[in-house]
Amino acid sequence: GWKMEDILEKELKVIKETVGPDNHVICALSGGVDSTVAATLVYKAIGDRLHCAFVDNGLLRYKERERVMETFDRDLHLPVTCIDATDQFLSKLKGVTEPEKKRKVIGNEFICIFDAFARDLEKKLGKKPAYLVQGTLYPDVIESCPPPGSGRTHSHTIKSHHNVGGLPKDMKLKLIEPLKLLFKDEVRELGRIMGVPVSFLKRHPFPGPGLAVRVPGDVTEGNRLDILRKVYEFRKYKQCKNIQQFNIFFHSLCCTCQADEIFIQAIKDAGIYDSIWQAFAVFMPVLTVGVQGDQRTHSYAIALRAVTSHDGMTADWYYFDYKFLADLSTRICNEVQGVNRVLLDITSKPPATIEWE
Ligand code: XMP
């Protein structure tokens, strides 16, 4: 069979030959395993002629930007430009409620921003970058566009994954997709032999549209837009004792972000992170009645989703220990202001998808 060392050597050779001795290459890093491994591979092949960008769309998890930038810099020495585009994304998302529309808006905005990055680079280099690296995997290819004879009969889009076929049309860049024939576990193995930290390679996948697909409906509703920008400072909101004051600061992304951080940390502490394909919190835009202290509350719910899977195409819900769930529920209700109910998603894929939108 194929040894990963052989695949690595072959890929490096193909990338060097494809790019040639003078061309420059650009890459959008999402902070996920796939784009990071793809970029590391291309960096190994052509060095500083690779130029990466990481876009903060304001829909990332708690401290995500700081965490991934540190890995790129300290562990991988990748040349990465960090672009804060929170305002652009959130203003474009205003009033958008339909899941596929959200993905399109986010995908289009991403293309605009990445296009500007490429143009800036062109000015600096005095020539156009010729290639774009994408971390497309085999399952992405078949889920977006099932090949004939694959046994998959749907001809409509189930979910448009913006990172497949999301190339700006007038950019005239050629694609390099070095992971196109690999499954997830093979990508992790490839990353490992190139020295990508194992803890990074074991990270759960995170969708490009981020928390936008984990907050059903309009993520910017009401005055949330202003507040969303402060998503990383959620600890500050906890300090608002006065509920009136809290309402001013309250927003769905903040709750999701905080509950998610508590959930993931608990999973890591229990030593079960690596047995789970993906785990996250989903904001439920439903007000239900509760009682906290001697106060009646009318607050939102948080759903917890954790699944096992081999490739994300099918999935089973994860069987947590009851004690673990009980403690988690208590913690989330105590610590996340504006949440008085915790739900567990016990649906597999199919019939559900992994994400809620
Ligand atoms: P679903 O929800 O379709 O998810 O069962 C399967 C896997 O794909 C991820 N996912 C996305 N990834 N852009 C992405 O980059 C998207 O729009 C998107 N939607 C879902 C999801 O997190 C899971 O790993």
pLDDT band at 155 (very low <50, low <70, confident <90, very high): very low
Yes or no: say if 143 and 87 are a contact pair by the CB < 8 Å rule.
Answer: no
290 assigned to a ligand binding site: no
Taking the centre of ligand 1 as the mean of its atom positions, its distance from the CA of residue 102, in whole angstroms, is 13
Q: What counts of helices (H) and strands (E) characterise the chain?
A: 13, 9
So what's the pLDDT on residue 229?
A: 39
Tokens (6 digits) for 20: 């040639």
Ligand 1 pocket member 216 (CB < 6 A): no
Best mutation site among 159, 164, 213 for ligand 1 pocket (most ligand atoms within 8 Å of CB): 159
Burial 285-294 (b: 16+ CB within 10 A, else e): eeeeeeeeee
Tokens (6 digits) for 95: 């009033």
Taking the C-alpha atoms of residue 208 and residue 120, their distance in angstroms, rounded to an integer, is: 23
Give the mean model confidence (pLDDT) for residues 214-240: 55
Contacts of 309 (CB under 8 A, 6+ apart): 277, 278, 315, 316, 349, 354
Phi then psi for residue 301, to 5 deg, are -110, 155
Best mutation site among 138, 158, 313, 354 for ligand 1 pocket (most ligand atoms within 8 Å of CB): 354
Tokens (6 digits) for 99: 């899941």
ipTM: 0.97
N residues, the chain: 357
Query: What number does the ligand 1 atom closest to the CA of 143 have?
Result: 3
Query: What number does the ligand 1 atom closest to the CA of 163 have?
Result: 15
Taken in order of first residue, the domains within the chain and their CATH numbers are 4-201 (3.40.50.620), 215-344 (3.30.300.10)
Taking the centre of ligand 1 as the mean of its atom positions, its distance from the CA of residue 160, in whole angstroms, is 9
Yes or no: say if 19 and 176 are a contact pair by the CB < 8 Å rule.
Answer: yes
Taking the C-alpha atoms of residue 259 and residue 253, their distance in angstroms, rounded to an integer, is: 10
Nearest CA to ligand 1 atom 19: 207
35 assigned to a ligand binding site: yes
Nearest CA to ligand 1 atom 3: 353
DSSP code string of 305-318: EEEE-SSSSSBEE-
The residue among 145 and 117 whose pLDDT is bigger is: 117
In the chain, which residue ranges form alpha helices assigned H by DSSP? 4-19, 33-46, 64-70, 86-93, 99-125, 138-144, 184-193, 198-201, 224-228, 234-238, 243-249, 252-269, 322-335
Taking the centre of ligand 1 as the mean of its atom positions, its distance from the CA of residue 171, in whole angstroms, is 26
Tokens (6 digits) for 308: 């096992």
33 assigned to a ligand binding site: yes
Taking the C-alpha atoms of residue 155 and residue 173, their distance in angstroms, rounded to an integer, is: 28
**Tens digit of pLDDT for each residue in 56-112?**
998 888 888 999 999 999 999 999 999 999 888 988 998 899 999 999 999 999 999
- Candidates 143, 145, 85; CA nearest to 312 is 143
Ligand 1 pocket member 203 (CB < 6 A): no
Taking the centre of ligand 1 as the mean of its atom positions, its distance from the CA of residue 207, in whole angstroms, is 5
**Hey, is 93 helix, strand or coil?**
helix
Burial of 93 from C-beta contacts in 10 A (0-12 / 13-18 / 19+): buried
Pairing verdict, β 316-317 and 131-133: unpaired
31 assigned to a ligand binding site: yes
Give the mean model confidence (pLDDT) for residues 132-156: 67
Given a cut of 80, whether residue 165 has pLDDT beyond it is no
Ligand 1 pocket member 57 (CB < 6 A): no
Query: What number does the ligand 1 atom closest to the CA of 278 have?
Result: 24
So what's the pLDDT on residue 216?
A: 87
Question: Position 355: which residue type?
Answer: E
Q: Which residues pair with 254 in a beta bridge?
A: none
Query: What number does the ligand 1 atom closest to the CA of 107 have?
Result: 17
Given a cut of 70, whether residue 231 has pLDDT beyond it is no
State the DSSP code for 103.
H
So what's the pLDDT on residue 232?
A: 39
